[in-house]
Amino acid sequence: MPTLIDEPAIIAGVGEPPKMISEYVGRASTGEAAVSIAWMRSPAGWTEPPQTPDFDEYSVVVSGSLTEEFDGGSLKVGAGEAISVAAGERVRYSTPEGAEYLAICIPAYSTQLANRDSAPDHSA
């Protein structure tokens, strides 16, 4: 039988200024460990520390743009575009202009699996 998910779990975002994370499927919302699906609302100027996650992440930008820095460069992902990041790649996300995007992580996102750098770093 299908299961209705009538509201997401609200998760505190990492980075500044704060962003809003609404997780519909995942460890915090449904207890699902295999995949997480979250709606991100990120203000202009948001940035987070670099990370080397133990999950694959797929981000679909709905509005605005998401910038992803990685070893060797950076990409700007605009509305209607998507990006995939394999587990083990060091990345740093930011939204200089603000963005709304859908993030899918396999396995499901967790703070421990994100492997964020402890000190702020402006190069990924």
pTM of the entire structure? 0.91
Q: Is residue 4 part of a domain?
A: no
Q: Is residue 3 part of a domain?
A: no
Number of domains in the chain: 1
Q: Is residue 93 part of a domain?
A: yes
Q: Is residue 119 part of a domain?
A: no
Quick one: which of 85, 106, 83, 98 has its CA closest to 35? 106
Each residue's pLDDT, cut to its tens digit, for the chain (124 residues) gives 999 999 999 998 899 999 999 999 999 999 999 999 999 999 999 999 999 999 999 999 999 999 999 999 999 999 999 999 999 999 999 999 999 999 999 999 999 999 999 754 444 4
- For residue 124, what is the DSSP state? -
Q: Is residue 40 part of a domain?
A: yes
CATH number, position 67: 2.60.120.10
Q: Is residue 89 part of a domain?
A: yes
* Strand partners for 68: 75, 93
Q: Is residue 121 part of a domain?
A: no
Q: Is residue 123 part of a domain?
A: no
- What pLDDT score was predicted for residue 118? 78
Rounded Cα–Cα distance for residues 2 and 54 (Å): 29
Query: Which range marks the domain in which residue 52 is found?
Result: 15-114
